[in-house]
């Protein structure tokens, strides 16, 4: 162990003394700090703005005058998506997803008004987040630190000299991988700790147990990812006799696995599991709704059957003799039928999105970037799973909200002269504003477990590769 620690310390000092590495590390650190500050400011501003809008929408709802319940339903409401507490670290899909959903009868809407859709082309490119720096740029820095770890010493003749003095090659290679990790940890760990502590003190990050648990698993996932990158750098260096050749190989791997492969995986997922455009979605839903029938059409068989059942249930011969308003009964049944159509269609649409994510995740077995990206977005609460959960909660709130108004229509409005009647504005207070319940960390972990296992598999496979290389060198020496 003493020899291993000596080799690791020597490698860490060698890496940190390298002027090029120090400059690159300073640039990455500066970019990381800038990303934290910019995203924290954006995150805080959006959280306050959306909370204020949600409060404003509810205040406007309760302050509206006495209305007919169905007109109040068409007045509608909004559900604003609150930013995830860890969204300042990994924004994920937040800039591409919408910010709010309009809640209205007979219609299930999707998230609208995304930041990317309302921005210029330059703004759509976005600013690099802390997660982007760690996922894409940090591996490049690690490769710059490790490309000469073994190949450089071979080229300089110090590798053979160390072996001739009785140093075990296995200890040397393992120590170089450990030393690279140590060098990274010496400047990266304090920087990240200070950034998260500052976020806690500034109120950007809440101190709830759920958020801290997510952050802890994020730290563990990124630690494995960094270890895998360091192992890959030393492993490639051990196969070369010249440092320049090792550097070119690592740069080629970075371009292939960190730039090209993720893009190809995304394109393949879109082609193999295509999703319809917004216009196609609206056309498909219009056709589906036409097939189930229109509640405004008295000759529709489904609603003729509803009329028969309602009259039989109350023992009445005419709708005018019913103790409830039949118009409200029709609205309630129409909402039930259309909601079932929308829910079935969106379930299939979400399945297509999940199939795309699943294919991209399987591609994570060939590139560690996709694995850590899925893991990071899932725990940060900015992936597709969390967006779908928000839409499902908003739809459940919309359905309960509209059906409550249909109940008022059925019980508070008489059949005769229906449209001219109103309900008291005091009824609006009974409808609570939309409140999003963020899924717990255990829910997020169950969905990112495959991505976490893929990161672990990469780290284990590269550690095994290093073990096999050190064994070969040990036998050769």
How many CB atoms lie under 10 A from the CB of residue 7?
A: 22
Question: Taking the chain (477 residues) in consecutive chunks of 10 residues, what is each chunk's mean pLDDT?
Answer: 80 86 91 91 91 94 93 93 92 87 91 62 59 95 91 84 74 86 90 88 84 94 95 92 93 94 85 78 80 70 87 90 92 91 88 81 82 94 93 95 95 90 91 92 92 92 84 54
Report the half-sphere exposure of 291 (CA within 13 A, side-chain side): 9
The Cα–Cα gap between 194 and 200 comes to 10
3-class secondary structure per residue, the chain: CHHHHHHHHHHHHHHHHCHHHHHHHHHHHHHHHHHHHHHHHHHHHHHHHHHHHHHHHHHHHHCCCCECHHHHHHHCEEEECCCCCCCCCCCCCCCCCCCEEEEECCECCCCECCCCCCCCHHHHHCCCCHHHHHHHHHHHHHHHHHCCCCHHHHHHCHHHHHHHCCCCHHHHHHHHHHHHHHHHHHHHHHHHHHHHHHHHHHCCCCCCHHHHHHHHHHHHHHHHHHHHHHHHHHHHHHCCCCHHHHHHHHHHHHHHHHHHHHHHHHHHHHHHCCCCCHHHHHHHHHHHHHHHCCCCCCCCHHHHHHHHHHHHHHCCCCHHHCCCCHHHHHHHHHHHHHHHHHHHHHHHHHHHHHHHHHHHHHHCCCCHHHHHHHHHHHHHCCCHHHHHHHHHHHHHHHHHHHHHHHHHHHHHCCCCCHHHCCECHHHHHHCCCCCCCCCCHHHHHHHHHHHHHHHHHHHHHHHHHHHHHHHHHHHHC
pLDDT for 124: 44
pLDDT for res 54:
94
Question: Could you tell me which residues come within 8 angstroms of residue 375 by beta carbon, excluding any fewer than 6 positions away?
Answer: 218, 221, 448, 451, 452, 454, 455
Burial class (CB in 10 A: 0-12, 13-18, 19+), 102: middle
pLDDT attached to residue 393: 96
Q: What are the tokens at 214?
A: 């997510």
At residue 404, the pLDDT reads 95
State the pLDDT at residue 125: 45
CA distance 219 to 431: 41
What pLDDT was estimated at residue 436? Answer: 93
Nearest to 248 by CA among 258, 257, 237: 237
- pLDDT at position 123 is 44
Residue corresponding to tokens 């995150």: 43
Intra-chain end-to-end CA distance of the chain, in Å: 20
pTM for this predicted structure: 0.88
Q: What's the confidence (pLDDT) of residue 8? A: 86
Half-sphere exposure of 46 (CA within 13 A, CB side): 23
- Euclidean distance between CA atoms 238 and 254, whole angstroms: 17
Domain ranges in the chain are 2-476
pLDDT of residue 468: 82
Which residue in 268, 250, 232 sits closest to 357, CA to CA?
A: 268
């Amino acid at each position: 162990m003493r020899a291993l620690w000596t080799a690791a310390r020597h490698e860490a000092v060698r890496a940190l003394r390298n002027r090029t590495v120090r400059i690159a590390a300073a640039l990455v650190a500066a970019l990381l700090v800038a990303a934290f500050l910019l995203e924290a400011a954006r995150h805080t501003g959006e959280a306050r703005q959306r909370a204020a809008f949600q409060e404003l929408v509810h205040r406007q709802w309760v302050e509206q005058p006495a209305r007919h319940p169905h007109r109040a339903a068409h007045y509608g409401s909004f559900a604003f998506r609150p930013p995830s507490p860890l969204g300042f670290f990994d924004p994920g899909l937040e800039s591409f997803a919408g910010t709010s959903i309009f809640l209205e009868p007979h219609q299930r809407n999707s998230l609208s008004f995304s930041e990317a859709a309302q921005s210029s082309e330059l703004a759509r490119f976005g600013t690099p987040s802390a997660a982007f720096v760690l996922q894409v740029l940090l591996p490049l820095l690690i490769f710059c630190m490790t490309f000469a770890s073994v190949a450089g010493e071979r080229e300089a003749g110090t590798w053979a000299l160390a072996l001739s003095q009785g140093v075990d090659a296995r200890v040397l290679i393992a120590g170089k991988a450990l030393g690279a990790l140590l060098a990274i940890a010496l400047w990266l760990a304090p920087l990240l700790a200070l950034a998260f502590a500052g976020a806690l003190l500034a109120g950007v990050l809440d101190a709830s147990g759920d958020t801290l648990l997510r952050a802890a698993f994020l730290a563990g996932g990124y630690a494995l990812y960094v270890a895998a990158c360091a192992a890959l750098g030393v492993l490639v260096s051990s196969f070369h006799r010249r440092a320049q050749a090792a550097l070119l190989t690592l740069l080629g791997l970075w371009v292939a696995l960190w730039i090209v492969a993720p893009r190809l995986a995304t394109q393949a997922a879109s082609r193999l599991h295509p999703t319809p455009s917004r216009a196609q979605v609206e056309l498909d839903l219009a056709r589906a709704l036409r097939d189930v029938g229109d509640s405004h059409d008295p000759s529709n068989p489904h609603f003729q059957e509803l009329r028969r059942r309602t009259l039989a249930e109350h023992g009445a011969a005419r709708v005018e003799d019913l103790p409830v308003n039949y118009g409200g009964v029709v609205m309630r049944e129409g909402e039930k039928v259309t909601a079932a159509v929308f829910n079935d269609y969106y379930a299939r649409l979400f399945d297509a999105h999940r199939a795309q994510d699943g294919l991209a995740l399987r591609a994570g077995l060939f590139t560690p970037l996709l694995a850590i990206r899925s893991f990071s977005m899932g725990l940060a609460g900015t992936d597709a799973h969390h967006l779908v959960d928000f839409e499902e909660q908003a739809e459940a709130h919309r359905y309960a909200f509209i059906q409550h108004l249909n109940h008022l229509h059925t019980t508070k409005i008489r059949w005769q002269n229906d449209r001219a009647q109103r309900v008291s504005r005091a009824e609006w207070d009974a409808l609570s504003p939309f409140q999003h319940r963020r899924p717990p960390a255990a829910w997020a972990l169950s969905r990112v477990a495959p991505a976490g296992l893929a990161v672990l598999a990469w780290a284990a496979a590269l550690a095994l590769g290093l073990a096999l290389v050190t064994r070969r060198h040990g036998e050769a020496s």
